[in-house]
Amino acid sequence: MRGKQTIRGMFQSMAVIGVVVAGIYMLVPHDENADPIRTVDYRVELVTAQRAAPYPVVAPDGLDKGWRATSVTFERTKAHAWHLGFLDPQDQYVAVEQSTARPADKYVREVTHDAVRTDRTEQVAGRAWQFWDGPKYDALVLTDDRSTTVVTGTAGPERLAEMAAALKAGEPAGTASPSASPSASTGPSVKPSAGS
């Protein structure tokens, strides 16, 4: 008889707790129209990456207010991998990926989720970016002897090109000199190459 009372008491206690939890949930205000996407401030990570990376780390400058930064990482131990993720004004994903990983094609396939190189190039800010077509993400890619820069995402080629055009290579904090040329930060300091 004692065992049946214990089980019945447990179910009664759970029912009371369930009613209390439901009541608290109903009293807490909820905004179903609130945007669930959290924006991030990437300035600290950008300065850190610019100081640590052996290549000019890029970030966009001058994008419309509709663009929202949503993720940022710099992984020095993983081929100095720089990642900066955004949502464009139509809530499509666009990311800037940079790394010293080799071979470059393998790195591009990895960050684009298996996109493949095409013969198509896009002229962006006076540079020829290689277009990669993928089942999940498309990409624009620039490769030089120091790094690979990838602009990738679910957004269309126009938005990828808009992001690529906005990329600027910044000086690490404290290293800019008064004699530095103003053109030093006008676009990613990477040049296309035929093979990578």
**What pLDDT is attached to residue 4?**
64
Could you report how far apart the first and last alpha carbons of the chain are, in Å? 78
Can you give the residue ranges of every domain in the chain? 43-175
Provide the token pair at 75. 């992984």
Q: What is the pLDDT of residue 171?
A: 55
At residue 95, the pLDDT reads 97
Q: What is the pLDDT of residues 91-107, one digit of tens each?
A: 999 999 999 999 999 99
122-138 pLDDT, tens digit each:
999 899 999 999 999 99
The domain defined by 43-175 folds into Phosphorylase Kinase; domain 1 (3.30.200)
User: Cis ω on the peptide bond leading into residue 89 (within 30° of 0)?
Assistant: no
- Location of structure tokens 């640590």: 52
pLDDT of residue 195: 40
Query: 34 pLDDT band (50/70/90 cuts)?
Result: low
DSSP-assigned letters across all residues of the chain: -HHHHHHHHHHHHHHHHHHHHHHHHHHS---TTS--PPP---HHHHHHHHHH-SS--EEE-S--TT-EEEEEEEETTTTTEEEEEEE-TTS-EEEEEEE--SSHHHHHHHHTTS-EEEEEEEEETTEEEEEEE-SS-EEEEEE-SS-EEEEEESS-HHHHHHHHHHEEEPPPTT---TTS-GGGGSS-S----S--
Compute, in degrees rounded to 10, the torsion defined by CA atoms 80, 144, 162, 152. -50
Q: If you average pLDDT over residues 149-173, what whole number do you get?
A: 89
- Residue 53 pLDDT grade (very low, low, confident, very high; cuts 50, 70, 90): very high
pLDDT averaged over every residue in the chain? 84
pLDDT of residue 35: 59
